[in-house]
Structure 1
């Protein structure tokens, strides 16, 4: 069986992304730290020669341990969301989180740690709807783009692209310490 050129490109994108992600996988290293644990799926798909991140509009929880889980979905995937739970589903090219057209940030002090709140505005070229991607969703999308592309974005950020694991662990452990403190 021979693969067509688009399948070869798609497979190459996915294989390269998986290899980069594997280098940054911490496994269950921090699974013992918090009783408030949640996982967030970051569904990637290769389409039109690029990696895209699939988003749904949902509510976010705070002061919880959130584990990002990257999953790869078929390029032919068609979402069929329950309208009572999901308002809309949209794709954003992963590289958008390094080179956004509309972006702003604000600064916040959380448990004594200075945090950058990223906010991306993305207009879907298919239907013209503009979406705001912010908070932990934006931070995880940015981190995923940094891991896969290995380059700095066009804006200021808190991550060190040359040592993503150490820097991310340091921030996580500081926030976890303050979040679980009884003082």
Structure 2
């Protein structure tokens, strides 16, 4: 006897399937694995909830690395985080479209090694607990990039990427800082 499919299941599966198609178009695979620089990966866990994709974030300390590889993963909508309180203060969800159309956002322009940069700062009030979170730094940069790739919409603010050629412009952006950080001159 087959089990009835909950009405939200097809919507959830469609959201995830559509996101995977968009991500595959921008996947660079192991193209940069041969580089011998300090490397790390950042997991960007997405889950479908209430007919929208959400990014699962943690309130933690940010570390600076030379080469960051964003890895997008999908988690079950029933996932319940059980963080180690010594490492993670809070876990919260932010709708992915918030990183293109935020309610509270500011940016700072600055110059680093001759390159003009935009630092994104998001404030998100979690409706579940009423706490306001600040999302900035590499987390904000990667959240914007994933939202641009998956949602394929223009943000309400300026970004450094060419929206008509996202893969090339994002690659160029991240590699120019890799070159600067490894230069001995």
Q: Deviations over 1:140-181 (max 9, x none)?
A: 000000001111110111112221110011112211111110
Alpha-carbon distance between aligned partners in 2 of 1:126 and 1:64, rounded to the nearest angstrom: 35
Q: Deviations over 1:17-74 (max 9, x none)?
A: 0000000000111122243111000000001110000001122222411110000000
Instruction: Please give the residue correspondences for 1:83-98 in structure 2 after superposition, counting only pairs within 5 Å.
Output: 83-98=85-100
Indicate conservation of the 8 Å contact 2:45/2:72, yes or no.
yes
Alpha-carbon distance between aligned partners in 1 of 2:35 and 2:116, rounded to the nearest angstrom: 22
Could you list the runs of 5+ residues in structure 2 that have no partner in the other structure? none
Instruction: Please give the residue correspondences for 1:22-171 in structure 2 after superposition, counting only pairs within 5 Å.
Output: 22-171=24-173
- 4+ aligned runs moved over 4 Å, structure 1: none
Structure-1-length-normalised TM-score: 0.96
Indicate conservation of the 8 Å contact 1:34/1:64, yes or no.
no
| Secondary structure, aligned partner of 2:79 | coil
Alpha-carbon distance between aligned partners in 2 of 1:61 and 1:179, rounded to the nearest angstrom: 15
1:111 positional shift = 2.3
Alpha-carbon distance between aligned partners in 1 of 2:59 and 2:68, rounded to the nearest angstrom: 17
Alpha-carbon distance between aligned partners in 1 of 2:65 and 2:93, rounded to the nearest angstrom: 27
Determine which of 17, 21, 24 is the counterpart of 2:23.
Answer: 21
Number of equivalent positions: 183
Indicate conservation of the 8 Å contact 1:111/1:179, yes or no.
no
Structure-2-length-normalised TM-score: 0.95
Which deviates further from its counterpart, 123-132 or 109-118?
Answer: 109-118
Distance 1:34 1:123, change over 3 A: farther
